[in-house]
Amino acid sequence: MIKPVGADALLPLYVDDADARAALEAEARGLPSVVVSSATAANAVMLGGGYFTPLAGYMNLADALGAATDMRLADGRFFPVPILNLVESVDAIDGAGRIALRDPNVDGQPVIAVQQVDAIEQVDDAQIALMTEKVYRTTDREHPGVAEFNAQGRYAISGPIEVLNFSYFATDFPDTFRTAVQIRAEIERRGWRRVVAFQTRNPMHLAHEELCRMAMERLDCDGLVIHMLLGKLKPGDIPADVRDNAIRTMVKLYFPENSAMITGYGFDMLYAGPREAVLHAYFRQNMGATHFIIGRDHAGVGDYYGAFDAQEIFDSEVPPDALEIEIFRADHTAWSKKLGRVVMMREAPDHAKEDFILLSGTRVREMLANGIAPPPEFSRPEVAQILIDYYQSL
């Protein structure tokens, strides 16, 4: 099986031993505490599940700036984005060597992790601006990821963490949420050697479904891991439970048995386009995938990124020795009226735009809200019905 990034084995930071976890929970009750941001809590979940191996916790400022500027930590290790615990005030934890991190996304704000405080550093506006520009390629506050990052505090608390739980992800999505450890174990159990991963924050229409088939066939893969984001999204995006239902229905009806795993991960979307694509590849290698699909405007939003920037970054910026996972570079896929099947548009040079069935996201949402299913060449009818029910419930 493919090795994790920069390590021989995963480094999950979740305290799996029940006795050790109970002791840590007892300790946490007596520690100074701070309510962290949603992004920080989600990063604790990713650290806990081994996705960010070999990180041992939250970065200090030097590591964060290095990750942002050239995707290297201070010691030279590769990591594509800053992983920070940024808070607005450190008054409640001043002088503490260990602190409890409280989860803002769960009622009662329970402790999600205990952190050793290696350093507390104040981050100035210029440093925030630099990290924003490097990661998001813009400082425009209309960008949802930029807005979220800049809304966090200016004190960076660095140090290793021990994770006590997986926030709301394990309880709200018990059939879907999986750690990198669990996915690796399932891949091994199924005997898959070549595995392609598909990232989604949306329901999968027919073009997505066929893209996954293309990748599996062309890469000679044993299996597909559909890995959906379960964390916070921008307003207007379809909730995770609806997506989960739609994707499960599609796989059950249209994929051969034991060919696709449906899984999800607890992370808040960055909408960082190219840089987030690298992060996606990073933690897909850690979960055991040998190949990863990156399509048109992967992890993008609005008009901030070029159509294939998320593919080109692997050639222009990612160090050649950084990742073992291989990228499957996909074009926009759509139904060809001429050929009667879904194709990658670049592979149909004799087609004009009108030879494809193309619907904008706005048009699809309007149709679904009015109880109208998109044509079967665009969306499976069973998936369309789930989405119609959702939009008509709003």
pLDDT of residue 200: 94
Residue 34 phi, psi dihedral angles, 5° rounding: -145, 140
What does the pLDDT look like over 95-107, one tens digit per residue? 999 999 999 999 9
Q: How confident is the model at residue 235 (pLDDT cuts 50, 70, 90)?
A: confident
Q: How confident is the model at residue 70 (pLDDT cuts 50, 70, 90)?
A: very high
Q: Which of 329, 318, 349, 235 is nearest to 5 (CA)?
A: 318
Please indicate, yes or no, whether residues 258 and 291 belong to a single structural domain of this protein: yes
- As a whole-number percent, the residues of the chain with pLDDT over 70 amount to 100
Is 130 contained in some domain?
yes
Longest CA–CA span in the chain (Å) reads 70
Cross-strand bridge partners of residue 333: 344
Establish whether 201 is a catalytic residue. Answer: yes
Element (H, E) at 250: helix 240-254
What does the pLDDT look like over 261-299, one tens digit per residue? 999 999 999 999 999 999 999 999 999 999 999 999 999
* Orientation of helix 61-70 relative to helix 125-136, angle to 10°: 40
Token representation of residue 134 = 């490097």
For residue 343, give the CATH number of its domain: 3.40.50.620
Is 264 contained in some domain?
yes
Residue 234 has pLDDT above 90, yes or no: no
What does the pLDDT look like over 333-378, one tens digit per residue? 999 999 999 999 999 999 999 999 999 888 999 999 999 999 999 9
| CB of 164 closer than 8 Å to CB of 111 | yes
Question: Please, what's the b/e burial string for 191-206 (b: 16 or more CB within 10 A of its CB; e: otherwise)?
Answer: ebeebbbbbbbebbbb
Please indicate, yes or no, whether residues 234 and 165 belong to a single structural domain of this protein: no
Task: Name the domain boundary from 170, 196, 228.
Answer: 170
Task: Name the domain boundary from 170, 185, 211.
Answer: 170
Mean pLDDT of 12-19: 98
For residue 25, give the CATH number of its domain: 3.10.400.10
pLDDT of residue 289: 98
Q: Which residue in the list 184, 201, 243, 329 is annotated as catalytic?
A: 201
d(CA 378, CA 357): 7
Mean pLDDT of 302-320: 96
Please indicate, yes or no, whether residues 164 and 182 belong to a single structural domain of this protein: no
Please indicate, yes or no, whether residues 230 and 276 belong to a single structural domain of this protein: yes
Q: How confident is the model at residue 14 (pLDDT cuts 50, 70, 90)?
A: very high
Task: Name the domain boundary from 136, 170, 204.
Answer: 170
pLDDT of residue 394: 87
Is 198 contained in some domain?
yes
Mean pLDDT of 141-149: 97
The domain tally of the chain equals 2
Please indicate, yes or no, whether residues 254 and 388 belong to a single structural domain of this protein: yes
pLDDT of residue 236: 82
pLDDT of residue 131: 98
- As a whole-number percent, the residues of the chain with pLDDT over 90 amount to 95
Please indicate, yes or no, whether residues 202 and 301 belong to a single structural domain of this protein: yes
d(CA 246, CA 250): 6
Q: Which of 227, 198, 249 is nearest to 390 (CA)?
A: 249
Please indicate, yes or no, whether residues 350 and 206 belong to a single structural domain of this protein: yes
Q: How confident is the model at residue 233 (pLDDT cuts 50, 70, 90)?
A: confident
Please indicate, yes or no, whether residues 201 and 325 belong to a single structural domain of this protein: yes
The average confidence (pLDDT) of the chain is: 96
Establish whether 190 is a catalytic residue. Answer: no
Q: Which of 216, 232, 172, 242 is nearest to 394 (CA)?
A: 242
Q: Which of 138, 106, 118 is nearest to 41 (CA)?
A: 106
Is 10 contained in some domain?
no
Q: Identify the domain containing residue 196 by its residue range.
A: 176-393
Is 8 contained in some domain?
no
Please indicate, yes or no, whether residues 126 and 211 belong to a single structural domain of this protein: no
Is 164 contained in some domain?
yes
Q: Which residue in the list 150, 202, 245, 248 is annotated as catalytic?
A: 202
Mean pLDDT of 52-60: 98
Mean pLDDT of 66-70: 98
| CB of 195 closer than 8 Å to CB of 224 | yes
Please indicate, yes or no, whether residues 102 and 191 belong to a single structural domain of this protein: no
Is 9 contained in some domain?
no
d(CA 78, CA 64): 11
pTM for the predicted model, two decimal places: 0.96
Please indicate, yes or no, whether residues 49 and 194 belong to a single structural domain of this protein: no
| CA angle, 153 then 5 then 21, to 5° | 60
pLDDT of residue 356: 96
Is 132 contained in some domain?
yes
Question: Please, what's the b/e burial string for 256-266 (b: 16 or more CB within 10 A of its CB; e: otherwise)?
Answer: eeebbbbbbbb
Residue 237 has pLDDT above 90, yes or no: no
Please indicate, yes or no, whether residues 92 and 235 belong to a single structural domain of this protein: no
Find the Cα–Cα–Cα–Cα dihedral 71, 116, 154, 236, rounded to 10°.
70
